[in-house]
Amino acid sequence: MRNYPLPSSLILLCVLTLASQCLYAQGGASIVNTKHNLSVTGPGPIKIAGETEICKFCHTPHSANPIAPLWNRRNPGTYYETYSSETMQATIGQPTGTSRLCLSCHDGTIALTQTYRRSKPIPGTIRITAADAGHVGTTLSDDHPISFGYTTALAARNKQIRNPTMLPAQLPLDHQGRVQCTTCHDPHNDNLGHFLRMDNRSGRMCTSCHNHEGWNSSSHATAAASVSGAQRDKWDNVSYKSVRDLACASCHRQEDSILSLCNCFNGSVYSDLLIVSRLST
Ligand code: HEC
Ligand code: HEC
Ligand code: HEC
Ligand code: HEC
Ligand code: HEC
């Protein structure tokens, strides 16, 4: 669990206890117009009627569990199916740190209102269900691996990842040097969509950590063709549609399946390749 230095905790305490103008001036300022505003004023489809406070779904000024950063979520105690593969060098265990807190809503097992501090409980039983866009579920084996140490030793074993000392400031590891949900997502800020910390156009975010030799000159990094028709629906969340802009996301989707091949060669992107595949069947 991340241990916040005292000043940060104090700021949070201030934010949670003082008037709203103080609140908007701090870290949570931009959360108001996002799906993480679960109060009655929230813009998203999932919110709690009658609840006016925003921060308390995740933070509490008193009796927090665990203490930093003043968390107010119950631990659902879920067992997760984690990512595994033959090529992966890091060992993946059960989720730790802030990832557990994200999952306490996003695995869909307990209600959004299951907060730790119960003296003034939030009413309602709404949870994220499999039908919702934000559902991650308990199967993490098809999502990007999390809760493992991204160390210099790991980069020495796997030449296709960069040395973690070179990571851009936008992609923070936790205080134990682990990749968590919060490495790629900032729960307070949805300016880039999907609460992402970095725009992933041309695979910029992926290639901040992954270093595939020959990638930059490959056809998947340079092709201007647009994915079209039914294929487009897979990327309805982004404004760009070309193979080179989608880059890694042409083939790898994060929360869907880390590898969901797009079937570009069925003619939806390159019709000549469709003819080739027809001839060969
Ligand atoms: C959906 C859950 C969620 C909500 C709602 C939320 N926060 Fe947070 N907050 C987090 C997480 C997760 C962290 C830890 C971030 C990290 O580890 O990078 C955090 C950390 C913080 C911090 C510590 C500094 C930082 O940014 O890392 C402050 C300050 C803060 N939140 C303020 C607020 C305020 C104010 C509100 C209400 C307007 C709010 N938060 C609402 C999830 C939330
Ligand atoms: C208190 C419950 C709660 C917590 C804790 C929480 N979220 Fe969410 N989050 C939600 C809800 C509800 C939505 C809206 C889901 C929907 O509309 O399908 C959402 C939406 C999102 C989305 C956008 C999905 C979309 O459709 O655009 C992302 C990404 C996300 N959360 C990531 C996180 C991460 C990362 C954390 C931990 C740092 C976290 N959330 C913590 C409740 C929570
Ligand atoms: C390595 C970076 C990375 C990590 C780690 C990560 N995500 Fe994501 N996440 C993304 C990207 C990129 C997207 C954008 C949509 C996509 O590519 O599928 C995304 C999308 C999402 C969505 C929206 C799903 C949708 O289909 O609309 C949710 C919810 C989400 N992430 C939650 C989480 C949670 C919870 C964790 C931790 C258990 C997590 N993410 C860890 C990169 C990451
Ligand atoms: C913050 C750094 C970081 C970011 C951002 C990131 N990754 Fe990773 N990723 C890693 C590390 C570290 C590993 C573990 C490598 C190992 O253990 O061999 C990994 C593992 C993976 C794996 C599993 C590898 C295997 O051998 O099975 C895939 C697939 C993957 N990442 C794809 C992506 C994609 C696609 C993106 C962009 C959406 C992305 N990653 C963003 C750091 C990152
Ligand atoms: C044309 C589709 C395609 C594109 C584009 C693509 N990948 Fe892959 N990727 C694959 C396939 C297929 C595998 C092999 C999966 C397997 O063997 O299970 C793979 C494997 C991986 C692995 C696992 C380790 C390895 O080398 O086998 C990582 C990490 C990865 N890709 C990251 C990325 C990143 C980062 C990008 C963008 C810079 C990217 N990929 C672009 C299709 C693609």
pLDDT one digit per residue (tens) for the chain, 281 residues? 333 343 444 445 444 444 343 444 445 558 999 999 999 999 999 999 989 999 989 987 766 565 555 677 778 888 999 998 888 999 999 999 999 999 999 999 999 988 876 667 787 889 999 999 899 999 998 889 999 999 999 999 999 999 999 999 999 999 999 999 999 999 999 999 899 999 999 999 999 999 999 999 998 999 988 875 455 555 556 678 888 998 888 777 765 544 555 556 555 555 444 333 333 33
Residues 6+ apart with CB under 8 A from 176: 97, 149
Instruction: Report the distance separating Cα 143 and Cα 136, nearest Å.
Output: 9
pLDDT confidence of residue 189: 95
Two structure tokens written together for 123:
């009413």
Provide the 10 A C-beta neighbour count for residue 166: 10
pLDDT confidence of residue 243: 86
Residue 153's SS3 state is helix
Q: What residues pair up with 65 in beta bridges, in sequence order?
A: 72
Pocket flag, ligand 4, residue 150 (CB < 6 Å): yes
Report which residue type is found at 30.
Answer: S
Pocket flag, ligand 5, residue 250 (CB < 6 Å): yes
Pocket flag, ligand 4, residue 210 (CB < 6 Å): yes
φ, ψ (nearest 5 deg) of residue 145: -60, 145
pLDDT confidence of residue 255: 54
pLDDT confidence of residue 270: 55
What is the Å distance from ligand 3's center to 255 Cα? 5
Residue 222's SS3 state is helix
pLDDT confidence of residue 18: 43
Name the residue of 254, 257, 260, 262 to mutate for ligand 3: max ligand atoms within 8 A of Cβ: 254
pLDDT confidence of residue 24: 44
Instruction: Report the distance separating Cα 92 and Cα 100, nearest Å.
Output: 14
Number of helices (H), then strands (E), in the chain: 10, 2
pLDDT confidence of residue 204: 95
pLDDT confidence of residue 163: 97
What is the Å distance from ligand 3's center to 186 Cα? 11
In 3D space, the residue among 204, 205, 209 whose CA is nearest the CA of residue 162 turns out to be 209
Contact between 185 and 195 (Cβ < 8 Å):
yes
Provide the 10 A C-beta neighbour count for residue 119: 7
